[in-house]
Amino acid sequence: MSTAFRHIPVLLDEALTLLYPERGGVFVDGTLGGGGHAEAVLRRLPESGRLIGIDRDEEALCAAKERLGVFGGRFTALHGNFFNMKELLAAEGVHKVAGILLDLGVSSYQLDTPGRGFSYKYDAPLDMRMDQGAPLSAYDVINTYTEEQLARVIWEYGEERFSRRIARRIVCARAEKPVETTLELAGIVKAAIPAKFRNEPQHPARRTFQAVRIEVNEELKGLDGAVEEACDLLQKGGRLCIITFHSLEDRIVKQAFRRFENPCTCPPSAPICICGKEPKAKILTKKPLTCSDREEAENPRSSCAKMRCIQRI
């Protein structure tokens, strides 16, 4: 299974330029995936450098260990969520690092493996768990959440304007029998959306699937705190690069970075700062970096990727 885990690293050249691993030290890939970004960082790290990779998908970890085994003790793989990065690194005796990379996207392997239940393109049991040991699955969300809860999730995490119609249709469908597969759910969502809105370039169930996946994996709950913790782990001059794929997570990252650069909470009319809060990082990407036309052509899933980076001061 591990050999099937392929990772096409998004914005790779940009990440390497910003992280600048040639300066050495300890680097962290908090969303290791198949190890594409990590391998490139390791190849540029001096022999004294080290990279620690974190992922909650054990299949990803297995693939990364296989791919990066050539680097020996310079590479360490940890099973866990980057939300708990501080304690995961502390267990390795690491308290400050030179650079951190977070790629918040779902891997192509997860999307393209039918059995993982992430995609509306394949018929598979509803799952969507990045960590297969996690208790909550997409099946649980779809079949146990109330209509109000479903509507909230689909609206907040999918930004789906027909969230109430979709939630109502799901509840009606499951009253007859549980909604068990991805294609069942995709069909229910499509039927709930008015006919004139079903012919968009992308599948009408896309936003609902995104919302359910985010809910299952708690991708946004605690993200702000995790970004703050990552910044605090940086040594002076250390850099944090984050790649996002939708507006909800990008907004959280952008606001956190702005807060690190300008933490003052004094009223704008105040003649001097009295809150005493000092900047702890500077933003290196005033505008987020996006993929080139060539990269989009080679990897269409990179089209919505954005990268932001800060440097600890």
Domains of the chain, first to last: 2-104+220-312 (3.40.50.150), 117-217 (1.10.150.170)
pLDDT at 217 over 80: yes
Predicted local distance difference test score (pLDDT) of residue 142: 98
Residues in CB range of 151: below 8 A, 6 or more apart: 163, 164, 166, 167, 168
Average pLDDT along the chain: 93
Torsion of CA 163, 165, 170, 176, to 10 degrees: 170
Task: Tokens for 10, please give them.
Answer: 């998004």
Considering only 108-122, 128-142, 238-252, which range has the smallest mean pLDDT? Answer: 108-122
CA distance 131 to 137: 10
pLDDT the model gives residue 143: 98
Q: What is the pLDDT of residues 60-99, one digit of tens each?
A: 899 999 999 999 999 999 999 999 999 999 999 999 999 9
| 261-308 tens-digit pLDDT | 999 888 887 888 888 889 999 999 999 999 999 999 999 888 999 999
pLDDT value at residue 6:
60
pTM exceeding the 0.85 threshold for the entire prediction: yes
Which pLDDT does position 1 carry in this prediction?
39
